[in-house]
Amino acid sequence: MSIAERIMTRHSELDNPLKHLFRAVSIGLVLTLSAQASATAESTDTAYEPVAPTVDQARANILIARQLQFTHFRDMGINDDLSSDVFDAYLDYLDGQHIYLTQEDINQFSAVRDSLGSALKTGQLQPGFDIYNLVQQRIIERLNFAINVIESGIDKLDFETDEQILVDRSEADWEADAAALDNLWIKRIKNAVLAQRLNGSDDEEITKALLRRYEGQLKRTRQARSEDAFQAYMNAFAGMWDPHTSYFSPRTSENFNINMSLSLEGIGAVLQSDNEYTKVVRLVPGGPASKQGQLQPADRIVSVRQEDKEEAVNVIGWRLDEVVDLIRGPKQSTVTLEVIPSDAADETVTKTIAIKRDEVKLEEQSASSDVIELDRSGKTFRIGVITIPTFYADFKAMQDGDPNYKSTTRDVRNLINDLKQEGIDGIVMDVRNNGGGALHEANDLVGLFIEEGPTVQIRNSNNDVKVLEDQDPSVTYDGPLVVLVNRMSASASEIFAGAIQDYGRGLVVGSQTFGKGTVQAVRPLNHGQLKITQSKFYRVSGGSTQHKGVIPDIEIPSRVDKTRIGEDALDHALPWDQIEAVPHERYFDFSGVIDELRVRHDERFAEHPEFRLLQKEIDFLKQQREKTTVSLNLVEREAYQSQVERARLTIANARREIRGEEPFDTLEQLDDWQDMQAADVDSTDDDLDFIIEEGGNIMADMLELDQRMASILTPKQITAQARSH
């Protein structure tokens, strides 16, 4: 039986409402293949069984549609315009790099582009499943084509031509037909071969590695389940409202609940699907990956190897829950991840990271403190530094009535009191890389620095506004304050930093924060769960933390690529907007000193060797990211890789010179040293973080420029002077 006949038989049994369209697509599928791909498709005809929707999924679809229309924060109906957007998002989810489908395929589906909305309203899932089945069939054809090319001998590939390949094809046009796609895939294979040759692998090793990769992906594709299609389709649909609204299948719901309870023994990383890859969203503070230090947000996982296995398992194309299961494992065992770094020039650049699994312990997420001393013109300033990795609370101990239960606010209050006993002149609060946590802890933490007053506003989809307040008039610390933030400071961190800024209680220093200003609720369905955005955060000054985040008073550039990480980098993110401010005190007006503070900061950083090096790294990473193509010519590629390696080695050795350490002679020495450092999770870097040092220097500037803060006045005194300023 031919592909078209088999698919049509299956769909006639399902009473497919799009059978005429699907017949055209299926016949087109056969007719447009090259002879080689056609033969391959025939040989795998029985390998893929098209998946079909279930009654439970149809019911869940109807419930999801109702929830999205009537309870989501964004007021949006389901219409023809939405249908087209869902269509594009669904194809992007299934083939985000435009490497499986052709323009001919897209044209054949044009009839359903404008009708998906009405079908989704009423639980008619077949159109989405038809698209899914065709994409899986196309993936099988492409993978078989790649396997045939590799088995024919990679030594036959030509690396002397002046060819280029796009690094990112997400915005590229679809290839016209199967023949054009064949040419693209030959380029992709050449790119993969080149990358591995330049990493020192011989052709036999490369052949085995690529065959293992493509055959593994082929196996997973053939095992596609109805739930895979449904989850992909529902997430494309739900993602129209905002990127944090998503559907969890029953299996994914189980993993979500495990992660929320922090009882998972694993690496301490939050993962999500990103087309064919599993991507790192964030690291759990105090978790194994965070302490190991090499894994970073936006890294994409290529393979996973257990400590008792010689070969890694390629996980490209795997379901998220299966990747999570593979990474999860016994405490103290080691898992090795091969990842495409977030700053890699293209997807052929990978590195391996070994992480020892462990539980994420609450005490390892706890706030901590230190004291730094800065000499200025004969005077020594003692600056307290409090680092807060996350906003935490031991809810169980709290419910059990334990008077000594741990929480962010309780711990920070104790640390502040200890620092005051040590005679500090000011405090730097470090919430860099703090992805949020317990909202009430952010509210209570603000209360340590102000008298009673509002801390954050929360508006729901009915435009009802709830104001959270600090109702405790006591102030734990009334002296000079700096808050350090970066792009990975999100949610509760942004609420805290924004409130400190709005109250004029301290200066915010660093880079623009993430911009996560929405609140989600998880709602059960008859089949799985729906995580849906229901509210939005607003600062006491009225501006939302959504999309824009918190803009620092003094900015320090970051290595993080804001076009890839942050709320404004996400599709369909809710916009920034503003509501009415709520009455609040203004403790200090920095307008009289901020310009001078910025001038001093700029002058200091211009001469600081660590900052100059940071700027070099940022420029280097920017050049890498701006490179849209890579050469498939061996000589050109070797020259480019040598240039990149020299830049990496130069930057690493410049940092070692600053620290008085011997330089590395080769890149291999650098890589070996980094692996050794990462493997020692108990090692600490005694060198002062120069950004913390700069926070202290800005504090010292504040003390020098304004004696009102040098004497650590009470909030009421500061308020009175600020008003007269």
Catalytic one of 358, 502, 561, 706: 502
Is 491 among the residues known to form the active site?
yes
- For residue 390, the tally of other CB atoms under 10 A from its CB is 22
Q: How far apart, in whole angstroms, are the C-alpha atoms of residue 63 and residue 499?
A: 38
Q: Return the CA Rg of the chain.
A: 28
Q: How far apart, in whole angstroms, are the C-alpha atoms of residue 493 and residue 511?
A: 13
Burial of 88-126, coded b for 16+ CB within 10 Å and e otherwise, reads: ebbbbbbbbebbbbbebbbebbeebbebbbebbbebbbb
Which residue type sits at 260? Answer: M
Q: How far apart, in whole angstroms, are the C-alpha atoms of residue 544 and residue 478?
A: 26
Tokens standing for residue 549: 């985040």
- For residue 213, the tally of other CB atoms under 10 A from its CB is 22
Q: How far apart, in whole angstroms, are the C-alpha atoms of residue 531 and residue 722?
A: 45
Helix or strand (DSSP H, E) at 523: strand 518-524
Is 665 among the residues known to form the active site?
no
User: Would you give the DSSP letter of residue 592?
Assistant: G
Catalytic one of 190, 279, 291, 516: 516
Residue 281: phi and psi, rounded to 5, are -90, -50
Q: Which residues make Cβ contacts (< 8 Å) with residue 153, sequence separation at least 6? A: none
> In this structure, are residues 353 and 337 in contact, taking their beta carbons and an 8 Å threshold?
yes
Tokens standing for residue 26: 């299926």
Label residue 404 exposed, middle or buried (CB < 10 Å: 0-12, 13-18, 19+): exposed
Is 356 among the residues known to form the active site?
no
- For residue 297, the tally of other CB atoms under 10 A from its CB is 19
Burial of 596-608, coded b for 16+ CB within 10 Å and e otherwise, reads: ebeebbeeebeeb
Q: How far apart, in whole angstroms, are the C-alpha atoms of residue 511 and residue 500?
A: 16
Write the secondary structure of 300-360 as one string of H (helix), E (strand) and C (coil): EEEEEEECCCCCCEECCCCCHHHHHHHHCCCCCCEEEEEEECCCCCCCCCCEEEEEECEEC
Residue 500: phi and psi, rounded to 5, are -60, -40
DSSP-assigned beta bridge partners for residue 716: none
Tell which residue, 339, 386, 389, has the closest CA to residue 489: 389
Catalytic one of 491, 493, 511, 558: 491
What's the CA dihedral at 47, 113, 564, 637 to 10 degrees?
60
How far is CA 56 from its chain centroid?
32
Catalytic residues: 491, 502, 516
